Structure 1
Amino acid sequence: MADNNNDARHLETLDRDLGRISTLEMATGYVARPMVGPGIALVFVVLAGLMAALFLGQTNNTMIVVIAAGFGAYMAINIGANDVANNMGPAVGANALTMGGAIAIAVVFESLGALLAGGDVVSTIAKGIIAPEAMVDANTFIWAMMAALLSSALWVNLATWVGAPVSTTHSVVGGVMGAGIAAASFAAVNWATMSKIAASWVISPVLGGAIAAGFLWLIKSRIIYQPDKIAAARKWVPILVGIMAGAFSAYLALKGLKKIIKIDLMTALGIGAAVGVAVWLILIPVIRRQSEGLENRNKSLKILFGIPLVVSAALLSFAHGANDVANAVGPLAAIVQTAATGSFTEAFQIPFWVMIIGAFGISFGLFLFGPKLIRMVGSQITKLNPMRAYCVALSAAITVIVASWLGLPVSSTHIAVGGVFGVGFFREWDAERRLRKALNAKPDRPRVAAEERRRRKLVRRSHFLTIIAAWVITVPAAATLSAIIFLIIQNFIV
């Protein structure tokens, strides 16, 4: 009997110990979970440095390039965490893609865009922002590019933490400008180029928002507000998807395939027109079959826009990988070439291993930290459905084409988020218009108080103001941070 009691006590003690261990494991899991992402990111940064050392071997500047490769990897991770959300956010917010599906598609197509069609040459010192002759020597130039790379990465990291989608290209531009000013005075800056970039702060989101709102008006007036929505959809959805296919074909021909083949604007538009007409004709019987048996209501229309929206997100990711990755790793490519040759006045060729760092860094950043900004763009600014998200994606492609025709540098981030704003503000205007129409038809209908109408705004003003403020201060903030980092390197490290 005593033995039985002892066994029971031992079992109770064992249960308590196991309970403590499981509780400890659970607590450790909760404590360790926030550190998993930064831990994996740190490992990737270290591996990027080792890759640089492996490719360069033992040279006088190996350690400098290793450090720069680490900064480049850090920048690429931040691009994945912030910039890629603009391409995937609308599709996720519209429930056309799950978060996991969006991340998988973005990882694949961003990497393909960077590795297959990534920019092979970066113009002299980040697109002529700083005059190379103004630099004293190669070492000064290397430290300036190092400061630009680190400052732009830190700024994008801060913006991601705050929850503001910002332009990584503008961050790099600001970083290069700030370091150039610190190294060679204000006279070294190409202010004509900077004025064009400043103009794009306004033009990109306004144009993207206007085009997105225009297509949403077309969808509402020609399909949603029609008595027979399904019949209207059979006519207009093939046309709209054909326009999207044509726009993206021209967009990719113009911007995403420049490494493979140079295509001028008129040729790109011709390719887009041919693809658009072909897709329109192919989709007429497809949409007719897909729409059979659907109920005459708005929910049925979402089915018809789902697949085009997923395809558009993939194509946007490919084009983003082809363009913005090269901009982000441009300072790293400049450091690598200058360290190897001592020349910093030529255009910089991006080595393939540098593009690999950019492509994989974006993938890691998106996978580890991307969901926060994807949710912000997709659902927290305004509510999106497949039709609204389609308008945002289409406006991104068309805006880039229009901007290329006008010769304006634009930000894919500003265009996509501007498209979301455009859709949201159009919904507010349309809701107010319909309310006034209803009140005019029935004057005795109870009126909604002004305070309640303000509360029902369809665009969250807090997010709107945060994002606009982040856009405005991106270049000066990155420039200031870069100048400080350069001066610290020059006076205390070198």
Structure 2
Amino acid sequence: MDADRGEVRHLETLDRDLGRFSSLEMATGYVSRPLAAPGIALVFIVLAGIVAAVLFGQSNNSLIIVVAAALGAYMAVNIGANDVANNMGPAVGARALTMGGAIAIAAVFESAGALIAGGDVVSTVAKGIADPHSMGTSTTFIWAMMAALLASALWVNLATWVGAPVSTTHAVVGGVMGAGIAAAGFGAVDWQTMGAIAASWVISPVLGGLIAAMFLWFIKHNIVYRDDKIAAARRWVPVLVGVMAGAFAAYLSLKGLKHLVHISFDRALLIGLAVGVLCWLMMIPVVRAQSEGLENRNRSLKALFGIPLVVSAALLSFAHGANDVANAVGPLAAIVHASQTADFSDSFGIPSWVMVIGAMGISFGLFLFGPRLIQMVGNQITRLNPMRAYCVALSAAITVILASWLGLPVSSTHIAIGAIFGVGFFREWNAHRRMHLARAAIPAELQIGAEERRRRKLVRRSHFLTIVTAWIVTVPAAAGLSALLFLLVRTIAG
């Protein structure tokens, strides 16, 4: 009997100890979870440096190349954490893609864009922002590019932490500008180019917002507000998918594939027209089959826009990988070229191992840190459904085409976010207009007061102010940080 009691007490003590260990494990997991993602990112950054050490361990300035490779990997991780959200956020917010599916598609297509169609040749200093001849020596140029790379990466990291989608290309431009000014004075900067970039801060989002709002108005006027919504959808959805297919064919011809084959603007438009007409004809029986048995209500229409939305997100990711990754790793390629040849004034190719670091870094950054900003872009600015997200994706492609025709430098980030704001503000305006028209038929005691109408905003003003502020300060903030880093490095290097 006593033995049984002793056994019971022993088991109770063991249960309490196991409970303590279980609680300790849970607490340890809870504490360490926020550190897991930065830890994995740090391992990737270190591995990038090791790869550079293996490749250039016996060459001159090998330490500089190793440090630059680590900084390039850090920048690539930040691109994945911030920039990619603009392509995937609308599809996730519209529930056309799950978060896991969005991350998988973005990782594959961003990497494919970077590796297949990534930049063959870039200017020595980020599209002519600063004159490399004014920097004097290759050593000064290398320090300037190192400062620009680190400053732009730190700024994008901060913006991601705050929850603000910013243009990584603009961050790189700001970093190069700041380092150029610190190295050679204000005369080293091409202020005409900088003025064009500053103009794009306004032009990109406004143009994207207007185009997205225009297409949303078209969908509502021709499909949503019709008595027979399904019949209207059978007529217009194939047309809309054809327009999207044509726009993306022209977009990829101009931007996504420009490093593989040169295609003129006129020829790109012809390619887009041919693809658009073909997809329109192909989608007529497909939409007819999809719409069989659907109820005559708005919810049924969402199913018809799901697949085009997923395809558009994948194509946007491919084009982004082909363009913005090259811009981001451009300073790393410049450092490698200058450290090996002491030549820093001519154009140069981006080595394949640099593009691999960029592509893999984007995938890691997206997987580890991307979901937070994807959720913000997709859900927290304004409520999206497949039709609204379709308008955002289509606006991104068309705006880039128009900007290329006008010769304007634009940011894909600003276009996508501007299109989301355009959709949200159009919904506010449309809701207010319809409420005003219906007010005469509603008794005065049932009408919504002005204060309540102000409260029922469809665009979150706090996110609007945060994002616009981040856009405005990206170039000057990256420039100031880069200048400080350059002066610090030059002082330490002696």
Aligned to 1:229: 229
Determine helix, strand or coil for the equivalent of 2:125: helix
Answer whether contact 1:179 1:482 (CA < 8 A) is retained: yes
User: What residue number does 1:244 align with?
Assistant: 244
Show the counterpart of 2:388.
Answer: 388
2:123 maps to amino acid: S
Deviation at 1:441, TM superposition (A): 4.5
Match of 1:265 in 2: 265
Greater Cα shift, 437-446 or 200-209: 437-446
Alignment correspondent of 1:318: 318
Provide the residue aligned with 1:440 in structure 2.
440
AA of the residue aligned to 1:238 = P
Report which stretch shifted further, 46-55 or 232-241: 46-55
Q: In the alignment, residue 163 of structure 2 is paired with which amino acid?
A: G
Cα shift at 1:348? 2.4
Distance 2:124 2:431 in 1: 50
Shift of 1:448: 1.2
Partner of 1:43: 43
Residues 83 and 165, structure 2, Cα contact 8 Å, conserved in 1: yes
Is the counterpart of residue 101 in structure 1 residue 101 in structure 2? yes
* Structure-2 residue corresponding to 1:420: 420
1:116 and 2:110 equivalent? no
Matched, 1:338 2:355: no
**Residue in 1 that maps onto 2:411:** 411
- Find the aligned partners of 1:260 and 1:460 in 2 and give their Cα distance: 41
Q: 2:212: which partner in 1?
A: 212
Q: 1:13, CA displacement in angstroms?
A: 1.4
Closer, same or farther: CA 444–454 of 1 in aligned 2, 3 Å: closer
Per-residue displacement from partner, 1:339-368 (whole Å, max 9, x unpaired)? Answer: 110100011210000000000000000000
Q: Secondary structure at the match of 1:124?
A: coil
Corresponding residue number in structure 1 for 2:8: 8
Question: How far has the Cα of 1:5 moved from its partner?
Answer: 2.1
Over residues 78-104 of structure 1, what are the superposed CA-to-partner deviations in whole Å (9 max), with x where a residue is unaligned? 000000000000000000000000000
**CA-CA distance at 1:124 after TM superposition:** 2.7
Residue 17 of structure 2 corresponds to 17
Q: Which amino acid in the other structure matches residue 492 of structure 1?
A: I
Checking the alignment, whether the CA contact within 8 Å between 1:290 and 1:304 is kept in structure 2 is yes
Deviation, structure 1 residue 442 = 4.7
User: Residue 329 of structure 1 contacts residue 354 of structure 1 at CA under 8 Å; is this kept in 2?
Assistant: yes
SS at match of 2:293: coil
Map 1:112-191; keep pairs closer than 5 Å: 112-191=112-191
Alpha-carbon separation, structure 1, partners of 2:323 and 2:484: 28
The amino acid that maps onto 1:48 is: A
Shift of 1:35: 0.5
Mean alpha-carbon deviation: is it higher for 432-441 or for 249-258?
432-441
Q: Once the two structures are superposed, what CA deviation does each residue of 1:46-85 show, in whole Å capped at 9, x if it has no partner?
A: 0000111122231220001100100000000000000000
Task: Tell whether the 8 Å contact from 1:208 to 1:416 is kept in structure 2 after alignment.
Answer: yes
Alpha-carbon distance in structure 2 between the residues aligned to 1:445 and 1:116: 64
Identity of aligned residues (%): 74
Alignment deviations for residues 208-246 of structure 1 (CA, whole Å, 9 cap, x no partner): 000000000000000000000000000000000000000
Give how far 1:15 is off: 1.0
Which residue does 2:470 correspond to in 1?
470
Residue in 1 that maps onto 2:66: 66
- In the TM superposition, 1:76-87 aligns within 5 A as 76-87=76-87
- Find the counterpart in structure 2 of residue 483 from structure 1: 483
Alpha-carbon distance in structure 2 between the residues aligned to 1:95 and 1:350: 37
In 1, distance between residues paired with 2:112 and 2:220?
36
CA distance in 1, matches of 2:14, 2:286: 65
SS in 1 for 2:308: helix
| Secondary structure in 1 matching 2:408 | coil
- Which position in structure 2 is the counterpart of 1:55? 55
Aligned to 2:455: 455
* Paired letter, 2:440: N
Moved more, 117-126 or 306-315: 117-126
- How far the C-alpha of 1:132 sits from its partner, in A, is 1.2
Tell me which amino acid in the other structure corresponds to 1:134: S
Taking structure 2 as the reference length, what is the TM-score of the superposition? Answer: 0.99
Whichever residue aligns with residue 18 of structure 1, its letter is L
For residues 447 and 367 of structure 2, the distance between their equivalents in structure 1, rounded to whole angstroms, comes to 48
- Equivalent residues in 2 for 1:259-408, closer than 5 Å: 259-408=259-408
Q: Hey, what's the Cα distance between the residues in 1 that align with 2:356 and 2:326?
A: 11
User: Is contact 2:53-2:66 (8 Å) kept?
Assistant: yes
CA RMSD for the aligned pairs? Answer: 0.9
**Paired amino acid for 1:240:** L
Give the distance between the partners of 1:139 and 1:493, measured in 2 at CA.
10
Q: Which amino acid in the other structure matches residue 141 of structure 1?
A: F
- Where does residue 430 of structure 1 map in the other structure? 430
**How much does 1:447 deviate?**
2.3
Whether the 8 Å CA contact 1:439–1:445 is kept in 2: the answer is no
* Distance in 2, Cα, partners of 1:226 & 1:265: 37
- Per-residue CA distance 1:148-192 (angstroms, 9 max, x = gap): 000000000000000000000000000000000000000000011
- One-letter identity of the residue aligned with 1:200: S
CA distance in 1, matches of 2:244, 2:211: 12
What's the offset of the Cα at 1:136? 1.7
- SS of alignment partner, residue 446 of structure 2: coil
How many residue pairs get aligned? The number is 494
List per-residue Cα deviations over 1:260-298 (Å, max 9, x = no partner).
101111000000000000000011111011101100000
- The structural deviation recorded for 1:445 is 6.6
Query: Is this contact kept in 2: 1:230–1:291, CA < 8 A?
Result: yes
Structure 2 contact 60–340 (Cα < 8 Å) conserved: no
Structure 1 unaligned spans of 5+: none
- 1:328 deviation in Å? 0.3
* Aligned twin of 2:200: 200
Q: Match of 1:294, SS?
A: coil
Q: Could you tell me how far 1:493 is from its partner in structure 2?
A: 3.8
- Using the alignment, how far apart are the partners of 2:370 and 2:135 within structure 1? 37
- The one-letter code of the counterpart of 2:380 is Q
